[in-house]
A and B are shown apart, each in its own frame.
Chain A
Amino acid sequence: MADALHDQIRNFILENYLFTSDTSALGVEDSLLGRGIVDSTGMLEIIFFIEEQLGVKVKDEEMIPENLDSVSRIAAFVSSKRRAA
């Protein structure tokens, strides 16, 4: 299940920010901001994706790099929100 979530998030980022399906282009721990993959406006698109595609609401105070700055962090954040729901 966790792997499927990782894949879904990684594919979204590959498709929408790196414009490729080559999975080697993005490691699950890669920093999205640090690598310049998304900027602060691009982060809003990721939040829309999490809310619309993954069905998890993101509160203002949760919009921090600790939750959103890599595939694995997003997956962990989404999983914990789903568990809490």
Chain B
Amino acid sequence: MCGITGLWFRDAQRGADRATLDRMIAAISHRGPDGTGVHLEPGVALGHARLSIIDLGGGAQPIHNGDETVWITYNGEVFNYVELRQELLARGHRFYTQSDTEVIVHAYVEYGDDFVNHLNGQFSFGLWDRRRRRLLLVRDRTGILPLYYAEAGGAVVFGSEVKSLLASGLVRASLDPVGFDELMTFWAPVAPRTVFEGVSQVPPGEMLVLDATGVNRRRYWHWEFPDAADLRRDSAATLESELRQILGDATQIRLRADVPVGAYLSGGLDSSSLVALLKERVPQQLRTFSIGFDDAGLDESAHQREMVRHLQTNHEQVQCTLDDIAAAFPRTIRHSENPVLRTAPAPMQILSGLVRRSDVKVVLTGEGADEVLGGYDIFKESKVRQFWAQQPASSWRPALLKRLYPYLDLTTEQSTAYLREFFGVGLANPADPCFSHLPRWMTTAQCKLFWSDEFRARARADGDAADRLRQSLPANIGRWHPFNRAEYLEAKTLLPSYLLASQGDRMLMANSVEGRFPFLDHRLIEFAVRLHPRYKMRVLREKWLLKQTMRGALPASILNRHKQPYRAPDAAAFLRPGVPEYVKELTSESAIARSGYFDSSKVSRLITKLSRSKGASARDNMAFIGVLSTQIWHATFVAGQDVA
């Protein structure tokens, strides 16, 4: 993986100066510490920071075609480049490197704008076609790799991270109230929006075409579902066989690298399945990595040890303490470039640090399995609520929710009344495409209670976040199965802009480690979207088909364990003696008032409450982490301070 950046000018005669481009590359040097490269010509400037993974000696970028009319600055991996290269060689193309990057350039020359449909991988790149005088900014199908852009001063400036845009001097950091409203509803802004005012991201599965006609978005791939009546209901044996073949190949091609490859092993079904598949394919001892927590409620070490014993991997674990999280948090925000509502990204940054120190540059992870094969609690919750909506007066139907959330301590019949109040939101309209997510969004949105009146007025000027999202959904979503609608919302909101970004790419790249995600292979997604949901969730048993497929390869205790969402300690890491000074400084009434986003009096009361209570509610935890991370974000990007 690497970092890319550059500029495109509406005036074809205009060009960037080298010093500007160098600054933009330097801002993302952590993404590519192995080298830099530039290409400058009238109308365009391409910059690159390289992390060498494939063709270590010959893959320096930007790379061009034979007559130097097509140039590319590229971040990512095209895993089927070996096969593509053979096809292109047979069609007369000649290559000057062994890299996957050069294959993309020739695929463009050969296939035109359809070239991107030939690529299987994770990528984000700028491709300059000198003859047609146009720049394509292309992002992979599911949003594994980031790509930001902004229009300013007759130019479009782009980059892997917003830092490179800010370094151009053409973009100034300020918090986008609407993007922040979305973050405090969905956990992250919905692409193309970001939390930086005036900065957009290329949505997953899209390319941006910049030419004489202007800046135009074009979608090349859809993560969408067929009508409910058209879903597959083949035999389980047939589907297991197909899943085994696709997932096996998705894993196999992600082993292509000229550097050591390892894997994350959380002890859950997804990473355990992945490591079992890797074990069949990697002759040498596999290296695996995990996080441990002191809090037994969050720690999965016992399951990790069981899998290590079972598969005999060479395993390393980093024990993540409250101190570690508090110390790592400012760097986490600097890299994620987003306020967050949980600390969960911080341990992921600490984990990628362990990987890097172990001289491993590439890790495979199980990310995406929950979205693609039906694993999340929210899908169960939605299923129960749909079931309940058919008989709204029933008292035992909502009681099924107690099975999903045992920690809510709702053990009495009477507490069903509270389930009814809380999870009953939207029950009168189960056909609403957002039905599945309304309780979660409502809970998250309670963090907005802490906004200052001035900021609230700005954020609300553009209407309600959920209404805005509802307007952007596919026109035929009403014909999809309700389970598929819930999956779609996850794929559209949480996955690309939070899980793969704040918790994924950014935390990996903070330590120059590349992540690879076999469960997000587009062939697997295209297989899974056609499955009837009964193959994903059987009654309330999640990822049914994956479990069937992995029988025999995993211990029964891993196959049958209750799904544990990845969580890290939240407010507790910051509200105790001896925490770093920045916590008090940035959450002081004066600092809160200066940045202007929050009501300093309310924040002060929240901190008092959290400091004296034994356990914090989910809302209070989220609100505190949201305030603290936003204050760090402001100090880092708006005020230009080095928070530590």
Using CB atoms and an 8 Å cutoff, list the residues of chain A in contact with chain B. Answer: 15-16, 18-20, 33-34, 36, 39-45, 60-65, 69
Interface status of B449 (Cβ within 8 A of chain A):
yes
**Least Cβ distance of B605 to chain A in Å?**
4
Whether a CB of chain A sits under 8 angstroms from the CB of B67 is no
10 A-B pairs closest in CB distance: A19-B602, A33-B421, A19-B605, A60-B412, A40-B418, A41-B617, A64-B414, A64-B417, A65-B417, A40-B422
Most buried by B among A19, A20, A36, A44: A19
In the complex, which of the residues A20, A42, A62 contacts B601, with contact meaning CB atoms closer than 8 Å? A20
Residue contact B619 to A19, C-beta cutoff 8 Å: no
Contact of A39 among B415, B602, B619 (CB under 8 A): B619
Residues of B488-504 whose CB lies within 8 A of A: none
CB contacts (< 8 Å) of A61 on chain B: these are 412-414
Instruction: Report yes or no: B415 in contact with A44, Cβ–Cβ below 8 A.
Output: no
Q: How far is A24 from B449 in the complex, measured between Cα atoms in Å?
A: 15
Report whether B449 and A19 are in contact in the complex, using a CB–CB cutoff of 8 Å. yes
Shortest Cβ distance from A66 into chain B, in angstroms?
8
A40 to B443, CA, bound (A): 11
**Nearest-neighbor residue (CB-CB) of B407 within chain A:** A41
Q: Give the interface of B toward A (CB within 8 A).
A: 408-415, 417-419, 421-422, 442-443, 446, 449-450, 599, 601-603, 605-606, 609, 613, 617-619
| A18, B620: Cα distance in complex, Å | 11
A60 in contact with B411 (CB, 8 Å): yes
Pair B412/A65 contact, Cβ less than 8 Å: no
| Chain B neighbourhood of A16, CB < 8 A | 609
User: In the complex, how many angstroms separate the beta carbon of A10 from the nearest chain B beta carbon?
Assistant: 15
Cα(A60)–Cα(B603), bound, Å: 33
- Apart from the given pairs A40-B422, A60-B411, A65-B418, 20 other A-B contacts in the complex at a CB distance below 8 Å: A15-B605, A18-B602, A19-B449, A19-B450, A33-B418, A36-B446, A39-B617, A39-B618, A41-B408, A41-B617, A41-B618, A42-B617, A60-B412, A60-B414, A60-B415, A61-B413, A61-B414, A63-B412, A64-B414, A65-B421
In whole angstroms, what is the CA distance A33 to B419 when docked? 10
Tell me which residues across on chain B come within 8 A of A19, comparing CB atoms: 449-450, 599, 601-603, 605-606, 609
Residues of B within 8 A of A15 (CB): 605, 609
A39–B443 CB distance below 8 A: yes
Q: Which residues of B are found within 8 Å of A64, using beta-carbon distances?
A: 414, 417
Given contacts A20-B601, A60-B411, contact A42 B421 (CB under 8 A): no
**Does B412 contact A44, Cβ atoms closer than 8 Å?**
no
Classify the secondary structure of A's interface with B. Answer: helix
Cα of A15 to Cα of B601 in the assembled complex, Å: 11
Chain A residue contacts of B413, Cβ below 8 A:
61
B449 and A33 form a contact (CB under 8 A): no
What are 13 inter-chain pairs, A to B, with CB distance below 8 A? A15-B605, A18-B449, A36-B446, A39-B617, A40-B408, A40-B419, A43-B418, A60-B411, A60-B414, A61-B413, A61-B414, A64-B414, A69-B421
In whole angstroms, what is the CA distance A26 to B241 when docked? Answer: 59
A44 and B619 contact, CB distance less than 8 A: no
- Residues in B whose Cβ lies below 8 Å from that of A18: 449, 602
Chain B residue with the shortest CB-CB distance to A43: B418
- Measured CB to CB, the closest approach of chain B to A63, in angstroms, equals 5
B414, A42: Cβ atoms under 8 Å? Answer: no
Checking A40, A65, A69 against B410 with a beta-carbon cut-off of 8 angstroms, the contacting residue is: A40
Query: CA A41 – CA B446 in complex, angstroms?
Result: 14
Residues of chain A contacted by B422 (CB below 8 angstroms): 33, 39-40
User: Which residues of the other chain, B, contact A42 by a CB distance below 8 angstroms?
Assistant: 617, 619
Closest CB in chain B relative to A48 CB, distance in Å = 9
The residues of A that contact B613 with a CB separation of less than 8 Å are 45
Minimum distance in angstroms from A51 CB to a CB of chain B: 14
Q: Across the interface, name the chain B residue whose C-beta is closest to A33.
A: B421
Most buried by A among B412, B443, B602, B606: B412
Which of A33, A41, A65 has the most chain B CB atoms closer than 10 A to its own CB? A41
Output the nearest chain A residue to B614 by Cβ-Cβ distance. A48
Contacting A20 at CB < 8 Å: which of B605, B609, B619?
B605
CA of A36 to CA of B415 in the docked complex: distance in angstroms?
A: 17
Chain B residues, Cβ within 8 Å of A65: 417-418, 421
Q: Does the CB pair A34–B421 fall under 8 Å?
A: yes
From residue A57, how far is it (CB to closest CB) to chain B in Å? 15
Note all chain A residues with C-beta closer than 8 A to B619.
Answer: 39, 42
Which residues of chain A have C-beta atoms less than 8 A from B606's C-beta?
19
Alpha-carbon distance between A61 and B603 when the two chains are bound, in angstroms: 35
Q: Which residues of A contact B602 (CB under 8 A)?
A: 18-20
Q: Which chain A residues lie closer than 8 Å to B412 at the CB level?
A: 60-61, 63
CA distance A34 to B422 in the complex (A): 8
Residues of the A chain whose Cβ atoms lie less than 8 Å from the Cβ of B411: 60
CA distance A36 to B408 in the complex (A): 17
Inter-chain CA distance A62–B609, complex, in Å, is 26
Measured between alpha carbons, how far is A41 from B449 in the docked complex, in Å? 17
Closest Cβ–Cβ distance, residue B411 to chain A (whole Å): 7
Residues of B contacting A43 with CB < 8 Å?
Answer: 418
A40 smallest CB distance to B (angstroms): 5
Interfacial chain A residues near B618, Cβ < 8 Å: 39, 41
B450, closest chain A residue (CB)? A19
What are the residues of chain B within 8 A of A60 when measuring CB–CB?
411-412, 414-415
Contacts of A45 in B (CB 8 A): 613, 617
- The residue of chain A having its C-beta at the shortest distance from the C-beta of B606 within the complex is A19
**Chain A hits for B617, CB < 8 A:** 39, 41-42, 45
- Complex-state Cα separation, A60 to B418, whole angstroms: 13
- Nearest Cβ on chain B to A7's Cβ, whole angstroms: 18
Write out the residue numbers on chain A whose beta carbons fall within 8 Å of the beta carbon of B415: 40, 60, 63
A33 to chain B, nearest CB (A): 4
A64→B218 CA distance, assembly (Å)? 53
How far, in Å, is A11 (CB) from chain B's closest CB? Answer: 12
Chain B residues with CB under 8 Å of A34's CB are 421
Closest residue of chain B to A62, judged by CB?
Answer: B414
Please give, as numbers and ranges, the residues of chain B lying within 8 Å of A36 by CB-CB distance: 442, 446
What is the CA–CA distance of A42 and B443 in the complex, to the nearest angstrom? Answer: 11
CA distance A36 to B438 in the complex (A): 13
A64 to B417, CA, bound (A): 6
Given A33-B422, A60-B414: A44 and B605 interface contact (C-beta under 8 Å): no
Closest B-chain residue to A16, C-beta based?
B609
Distance (whole angstroms) from the CB of B89 to the closest CB of chain A: 61
Task: Give B425's nearest chain A residue, CB to CB.
Answer: A36
